[in-house]
Amino acid sequence: MSRNVLNVPEVCLVSYRTNMEKEFQHHLSRMPENSAIKQQKLPAHRLHFSNQAIFTIFFATGAFCFCIGIILLLSAWKVQEIEINYTNICEDCAKMRENALNFDKQCTCSIPFNLQKTMKGDVYMYYKLYGFYQNLYRYVLSRSHNQLMGKDVRDVKDCAPFKVTSNKIPIAPCGAIANSMFNDTIILSYIRSTSEHIQVPMLKTGLTWWTDKYVKFQNPSFRNLSDHFVGTEKPPYWQEPIYELDTSDPGNNGFLNDDFIVWMRTAAFPTFKKLYRRLYRVKYFSDGLPAGNYTFDISYNFPVTKFQGEKAVILSTLTWNGGSSIFLGLAYTVTGVFLWMSSFALMAIQGKMRKKKLSHRR
């Protein structure tokens, strides 16, 4: 209707009327739909925890965490582990390696040790580096996926600064990661007696993820591996070319070499250990490593003293959740204890508040 009903002539009123009729037809279409979502009336659950629920959750979670923590700690203690840091033991070799001119000289170093208790079950041998930054941004990027997949051995475009040699020949495998590959050889010998030195049988393969071995790393599909690497050069720090990493086993040679693949999976932190060998459980070693005297014979190639790093070799068994990790067990235990304590505190506070309220009401 108009503002001034009184002075609008009839003609106008008629027009209004027709307008209103029209509007009435619009009426239904202009009226907002009465759906739950449009009217913000969606059936919903209002999340509101009662005190009891909160206490229950706290206690339950606390108990759970505590239990897990204890279990983790117990299993961590069950793990048998020997770590031998050979940075200082092989000082001479280390010094020699510091001089780049000696790169083709061999240097071995043997480290005797005594295993007091038999290491039961599967035993794994790791090498561990301290202070080696495998997580530097440029380092991590410096690799060629295309090359490693065997697609194009000459594809070195992401590999700066180890793309090509000074003669412009592409490097295979290119890049900083490959170039810096850990190349010590560690041989474990079991000394049954002073005369009987048995080299502990170790498996070179099965050290990698399935996807790494079968998807990420592929040799070029040539029967003769070396043919395919024609026109490429080995990385500057390497002693032998890629196709000679394991000449005895073609399935473990070239890019498919397990040690190479393990190295290429870069570590998250500057201190890391990588799987080196697995115990081949035959003969004396079918139950694991028996107690006794052993030696590590290490051909020392990888220089660490340059960057004040250290290296160690580790023998370890496993439990249900992998390697030993006291941290996780401790963290769980602490969290559990904290949860219990805080739930008691909360209960106390809540009780106090209730009393206060009651006294207020009175």
Contact 179, 162 (CB under 8 A): yes
Contacting residue, 229, 238, 243, 332, with other proteins by CB under 8 A? 332
CA–CA dist 209, 261 (Å, integer): 9
Positions 94 through 123 that interact with other proteins (CB under 8 A): 122
Residue 195 or 268 with smaller CB distance to other proteins: 268
Integer Cα distance of 84 and 273 in angstroms: 12
Q: Per CB under 8 A, does 323 bind other proteins?
A: yes
CA distances 254 to 142, 149, 202, 227, 346, Å, are: 19, 11, 20, 12, 62
- Rounded Cα–Cα distance for residues 241 and 238 (Å): 7
- How many positions of this chain bind other proteins (CB under 8 A)? 103
Crossing angle of helices 326-361 and 51-78, rounded to 10°: 160
Nearer Cβ to other proteins (228/278): 278
Using CB under 8 A, pick the residue from 58, 190, 243, 285 that binds other proteins.
58
Is residue 52 a contact point for other proteins (CB under 8 A)? Answer: no
- Judged by DSSP in three states, 43 sits in coil
Which residues ranging from 156 to 215 are in contact with other proteins (CB under 8 A)?
158, 161, 176, 180, 207-212, 215
134 contacts other proteins (rule: CB under 8 A)? yes
Binding track, positions 268-307, relative to other proteins; x by CB under 8 A: xxxxxxxx--x------------------------x--xx
DSSP string, 217-266: ----S-SSHHHHTTT-B--TT-SS-GGGS-TT-GGGSGGG-HHHHHHHS-
347 interacts with other proteins by CB under 8 A: no
Q: By C-beta, is 146 or 226 nearer to other proteins? A: 146
Nearest to 345 by CA among 49, 62, 65: 62
Q: How far is the CB of 197 from other proteins (least distance, A)?
A: 26
Chosen residue from 280, 295, 325, 337 binding other proteins by CB under 8 A: 325
Calpha distance 281→267 (Å, rounded): 28
Among 19-27, 182-190, 191-199, 221-229, the segment contacting other proteins (CB under 8 A): 19-27
